[in-house]
A and B are shown apart, each in its own frame.
Chain A
Amino acid sequence: MSNESAFSRLHPLTLSLWFFFVLTVTVMTVNPILAALSLLFSALYKALTTGISIKGISVSLAFMLLIALLNPLFSHHGVTVLFFLNDLPVTLESLLFGGMMSLVVMSSVLWCGALALCMTSDKVIWLFGKPFPKLAVLISLTLRLLPAIKTSYGRMKDARTAAGLYDDSSPFARISSSLRIFSALVTMILEDSIDTADSMKARGLMLRGRTSCSIFRFRPADFAVLALVLLSAAAAAYSSVSKAVLFTFYPAVSYGSMGAVTALTYGSFALTAVVPSFMEVTLWKQLHSTTYRSNTPQARNSRSTV
């Protein structure tokens, strides 16, 4: 896993709680400040890990614009009427709400991408495997089987193509050829599963008291991130109940006054959301410095003399 991001090295428990919290806030909020923070940091993380292209940015912006513009077509709520369309009012409030929605949707998409990047199958299995060790075996077995089936299918198709028995002259012929291979594939999988079952039995699948091992360790960074998540979650929960971060668009835009609780909620959410990017940047720095050192002639010379 050479392209593993720094954030994904955290313990699966930390990661899952972190994503649960950030995604919940992102999806549930109608507060544009929280939504904007969420988008900012999710975009930053994407830029740091997978990178972003001009094309990607323009497609995303067009998508966001579309969401923002579509909302006023369907919702005519709001006291500030801009103009009428097909006898119905188009309002400023509805446009603003659409804008907020586009922030929410975009940041949710970006965070889900980050989730897929960080929550590798190993971590998902850990989450389910701790309470249900046999479920962990099942998930792992399925995850192994899928690529194996794909490979076998490719091989069978090649074998038949080479013999001239794979007909792909028309879409219909292709479908029937594929189905034929697929039915044979099922037989083959069943045949192989006898060996797999033997291998599992031989290694004690039937024994009672199975455990689920993990190679993940709870490190100081996990405690720190977890503490931050819990603090932010508490702040967010309190302000949501006390309406400290309440933001309403309809019938007119209104928001509560900026108090200490509000500031704490925004601040702690921002801190939590910046964690992945922060970890990525610090890791990057280190890697950068080592590559720099190893690439200079002096470094190479000094190493060879040592």
Chain B
Amino acid sequence: MSFSVCEGELVLLCGRSGSGKSTLLKLIKREIAPFGERGGEIRLFGRSEEDLSERDSVSKIGFVAQSVEAQLVTETVWRELAFGAESLGLPSGEIRRRIAETAMYFGLERLFRRKTATLSGGEKQLLNLASVMVCEPSVLLLDEPTAQLDPIAAKKLISCVLRLNRELGITVLVCEHRVDELFSYADRILCLDKGRIVTDLPPKTAASDASVFFGALPTAAQIFRRLGGSGEAPITTAQCRSFLADKKVTPAFHPDPECTSTPAAAIKNVFFRYGKSDRDILSDLSFSADTGSVTSILGGNGAGKSTLLKIIAGVEKPYSGKLLLGGKNAVKKHALKTVLLPQSPRELFMTSSVYEDLLESACAAGYGKEAGEAAVNKTAGELGITALLHRHPYDLSGGEQQKAALAKLLLLNPDILLLDEPTKGMDYDSKRETIRLIAALKAKGKTVIIATHDTQTAALCSDRCALLFDGSVVCSDAPGEFFTGLAHYTTPEAHIARGIIPGAVTSDDIVNAVRQQ
């Protein structure tokens, strides 16, 4: 492949997982370039890569990876900022000036003397970006920088990157799944497939180009493509609204959810805090999830979504209030089997192969040796991970890890599955796969409760959504009503359809509404 990037450009790299995006970015940064056979030439700043001095390679090219936690090196924020400048051997006064300036630019002044361990995920990734910028690079390489962030932190980081590009003229190469914001601002869209560049176009043309795969498009362009629109595709909410404005539509119809008998899990007036002197995380919270349904709990950072799941799972005990599972008090003993899929599924793996890990669950569920092996193979087959059974869990991709973790939990024969941010950091295809898996769980009669930031996924897969704010449930409804009722905290599709297609909250709703005419 060959391509070039002009100074000051913002280039968005798209591609399915395994298409070689990360490898491409890492090859440009010499210090972390992967080993292997190489051919061809990389030219930086008009010179061959070999001619670039070590010092320039470190300072002129900045790299931010997706792992938020592991990129941090030091224990305080200011020292993290100083790290790169210290490497360059700058005198103390100069370093102090640079870190002061950078901290101000990124709004990190209040965190300056804090311990890095006390920062939130979004703050950590912002710090990672800022500490790269201290070296004053002219090229910035970003490898899925928002993969581990919640949507609000991700938006903040992306707006920072855009500012760096617009205000400081820094050349940016970014690969990213969350394209809604970046797509329209990018100068060029590069699409990779199986190690080759298949598209190299400006965003407006790229959006209607067939070589760009569906998942790499912003929501607006996805709707356009599904409706088979012709001409220039819309890439922003406003463009998509004007595209839909002249179409004749019918209001979206949401069938009433069938009434189920008993709630599988119910929480009554629960209060919870971590320590005596802490604030209440949950206060007077009441919530219930019907047997065999999918319920999504939405809410901002620190709203208590994860804590709520932990309480249902029995990991944490409320200091007041009741937890009922299958109608029975479950604060002391669980009447129904609950399992919790943590935010990062790798926390569940204890051994060096997926197979052994699954076998551990099978044994815990009381299977004998042969029955256990049969159960492992059956579950793996159902989830489509048979080929991964003998791999090390840490060598799997995010989506694969999640499936393996889910298999491990399903072997325990749970009645209630609690999923904490199941679509965090996933690309379009993996998200679709997760939604399909959740639907399959529901079909098996399992009760699923999801804590998520992802409004799109919640709208697609749940029977009921609940908004958690300030420790209690503010509203709870079927997704159609839930997301039309909310004006800001809703799906991108609902933003597009507002006032044009009443009640539409997913792209399916929009597409159906237009097609029925």
Contact B348 A188 (CB under 8 A): no
CB-based contact A187/B394 at 8 Å: yes
Binary contact readout A244-286 vs B (1 if CB under 8 angstroms, 0 otherwise): 0000000000000000000000000000000000000000000
Q: Are A162 and B310 in contact (CB under 8 A)?
A: yes
CB-based contact B32/A202 at 8 Å:
yes
Residue contact B87 to A196, C-beta cutoff 8 Å: no
Answer yes or no: B387 CB below 8 A from chain A CBs.
no
> Shortest Cβ distance from B30 into chain A, in angstroms?
9
| Residue of A156, A203, A206 ringed by the most chain B CB atoms within 10 A | A203
Contact with B along A150-187 (1 / 0, CB 8 A): 01100110111111110000000000000011011001
Question: Given contacts A147-B115, A162-B338, A163-B348, is CB(A195)–CB(B70) below 8 Å?
Answer: yes
Q: CB within 8 A of B65: which of A144, A180, A195?
A: A195
Q: What is the number of contacts between chain A and chain B, taking CB atoms within 8 Å?
A: 167
Check A181/B412 contact, CB under 8 A, given A140-B74, A144-B75: no
A202 to B64, CA, bound (A): 9
Chain A, interface residues (CB within 8 Å), range: 35 or more
Given contacts A162-B338, A181-B350, is CB(A204)–CB(B87) below 8 Å?
A: yes
Instruction: Verify B338–A143 contact, CB threshold 8 A.
Output: no
Q: State how many angstroms separate the Cβ of A181 from the closest Cβ of chain B.
A: 7
Closest CB in chain A relative to B285 CB, distance in Å: 19
A192 adjacent to B75 (CB under 8 Å): no
Chain B proximity of A195: nearest CB distance (Å): 4
Known A-B contacts A198-B32, A203-B87; the reply to A165 vs B95 at CB < 8 A is: no
Name which residue of chain B comes closest to A156, CB basis.
B347
Overall SS of chain A's interface: helix
Assuming A159-B348, A201-B31, A207-B54, is B74 touching A141 (CB within 8 A)?
A: yes
- With A125-B79, A162-B315, A184-B350 known to touch, is A192 a contact of B86 (CB < 8 Å)? no
Closest to A125 in B: B79
A24 beta carbon closer than 8 Å to chain B? no
**A195 with B58: CB separation less than 8 A:** no
* Cross-interface CB contact of A210 among B87, B113, B128, B338, cutoff 8 Å: B87
Chain A to chain B: the 6 pairs with minimum beta-carbon distance, closest first: A204-B87, A195-B70, A162-B340, A204-B58, A209-B89, A162-B313
State whether the Cβ of A200 lies closer than 8 Å to any Cβ in chain B: yes
Q: List 6 A-B contacts (CB under 8 A).
A: A144-B73, A148-B117, A160-B348, A162-B342, A164-B337, A215-B78
Give the B-binding residues of A (Cβ under 8 A): 1, 121-122, 125, 133, 137, 140-141, 143-144, 147-148, 151-152, 155-156, 158-165, 180-181, 183-184, 187-188, 191-196, 198-215
Is there a chain A Cβ closer than 8 Å to B155's Cβ? no
Further 4 A-B residue pairs, CB within 8 A, beyond A137-B74, A202-B29, A211-B95? A140-B79, A160-B350, A164-B364, A203-B135
A200 to B128, CA, bound (A): 11
